Each structure stands twice: as C-alpha cells, then as structure tokens.
Amino acid sequence: MKAILTLSISLVISSISFSQTFFSDFEDGTLQGWTNIDATITLLTVEGNSPYLYLQKECDGTNSTIGEMAIINNTEWAGNYFYDVLGEETLINIDEIYMKNDNDFDLHLRYGFTGANGYIVVTTDPIIIPANSDWDIYQQYFSIGEFPNINNLIVLNDTTGLPFEEIYDNVHEMFEEVVEFKIFHNEDISFDGQIVIGTLQIGSIVTYILLSNEDPDIAKSVLYPNPANTIVNLKLPYLIEGSVEIFNVLGENVLSEILSSINTQIDVSELKSGIYLARIQTENQTTIKKLVKL
C-alpha cells in the first residue's frame, strides 16, 4: 500500500507544484530521529521490506517509556514552523500521516509541540484510527492565524492570570523555535501517551509547503472562510478569465470552476473533510492555495 502513497505524493507534486519539508518516510531503514520520550530506541524499530518500510513501536504495558505509546523527534522535526509566501506568514502543518492500527482498540492520535520558550501545546481534537484497520492516510489541521485565532491547539502550561494576547504571543514564539515534536495516543487532552500493550505503526509523516515563485498579483487571491464547511469564497485581485481546480491529497481533481467575476462561490459541501490544494490558473499565471474542508 505504501507504493500507492509514494505515487500519490509524486502526482500531486508534479501537477500542482509545491515542495515538502519536515518529512519522515523511513525508506532509508533508519528511525530518522524518532525515539522514545526518554531518547532511547528500545522496542522502536523499522519494519517491512524495502521500499515498504515503516516505523513500529512495541508498547509492553509497563509504567515506563516503553509502555507509553508515544514517540518524539527533536532533530529532524525541530525548528521554525513558520514560513513566508509572498509576504504572508503561514504555519507548517502535519498534512498527512500514513498509519495502520493492528490493535483491538481505536488509536486517539495527538500531536504535541515543545518550544524553546518552554511552552507546550497539543492538538485539541485527536485523529481516530479505527481498531484493526489497514494502512490509510489521515489528516489533522491546526493553525495560528492573526490575533486572536488559534485553531485546534491547547496550551498545557499554567496560564492563570495571563491575558490572552500574551498567551497568543507565547504560542506564536513557540512555533518559531520548536525543540520537540511528539506523536502519541491518548483519549484525553494530555502531553503523555497512554500506557498500553500494543503497537504504533507509521509509514510516513508529510508536510506541504507552497512555493513562492508565483506572480504577485494573482497570488493575492483569497479563499475564505478557510477552514470551510459548505461554501468557500474565492476573491480575486481583479477580474480575470481562468479557472480554479481543487485537488485532494492523491492529486485527483475533485472540483473545478470557471472564473467569471472577482468573487466566486464554490460549493464544497460534497467534499470529504481534509486538506486540499486549490490551483487558480489563468493563461499566464498560476497560484496555489491550501484549503481545509471541515
């Protein structure tokens, strides 16, 4: 199944033109910086046969880092999670995680981040991977927008008495210098993985970063609201003739609209929840926007 994922990523890259960073696929046979939470690699291995390799952690149920269903990375996934596209600050997301679940219980997967400033945040809503399920792509969305927007992230530090503006600034600063990224299973909001007997199996972890070599005019196009539920509005910088095409993570064109006015409404109600890329194209210009469907 992993061959399908690799093909899917290459199709999206070739047809939509973006690059990716902060990437783990374990195809070199190494753990690529992933460890237990105490920096050991006990019962943490790369399994499978090339090119179908995946990370696996065996949890033995003991009250220890081996029994805790959690892994961390403080090398390959450390750094600044913000990047700039034509003057617009954007937060890197974990756009895809490719997983299976051989356990007889659902996994409630969360992401956790620790910053150099000591702030700790985790995703509020877990990704639920059903029990006894085969390899599949899962997506989760979190973001920091303009003040006061923080989406699907919760601060675990004691912020009693702090004004929200200071909390927001500290979370923003945390993502500017992440020192540890954590993936763990817990039904409850916490920074600890649950103590279980079972396995954690991950085939790849992918982020997408849009390229900035776009025409500055058409790149000013705006999709809103984003995330969207039923209707997303596309506002162009000026009246153009062209089209907007929406692609899923497999590189498939799932929706197309002809552009005939500055403001275009796009019905996305039939799309599944997840992350999409919208390609806005004219005869001479193309720009790419990320779209999140709730």
Give the Cα separation of 189 and 247 in Å (integer): 32
Q: Strands 242-247, 253-259: parallel, antiparallel or unpaired by DSSP? A: antiparallel
Return the pLDDT at 80: 95
Return the pLDDT at 251: 85
Closest C-alpha among 143, 140, 138 to residue 89: 143
Return the pLDDT at 14: 40
Return the pLDDT at 19: 46
183 — phi, psi (to 5°)? -120, 125
For domain 214-293, give the fold. Immunoglobulin-like (2.60.40)
How does the average pLDDT of the chain come out, rounded?
Answer: 88
Return the pLDDT at 87: 66
DSSP string of 121-156? EEESSPEEE-TTEEEEEE----EE-STT-EESEEE-
Give the Cα separation of 201 and 212 in Å (integer): 34
Q: Domain 2-209: give its CATH superfamily.
A: Galactose-binding domain-like (2.60.120.260)
Return the pLDDT at 263: 84
Give the Cα separation of 123 and 143 in Å (integer): 10
97 and 128 in contact (C-beta within 8 Å)?
no
Give the Cα separation of 53 and 62 in Å (integer): 27
Q: Which ranges of the chain have pLDDT less than 70?
A: 1-21, 85-87, 210-216
**Does this chain's domain 2-209 share its CATH topology with 214-293?**
no
Q: Where are the domains of the chain?
A: 2-209, 214-293
Model pTM score: 0.78
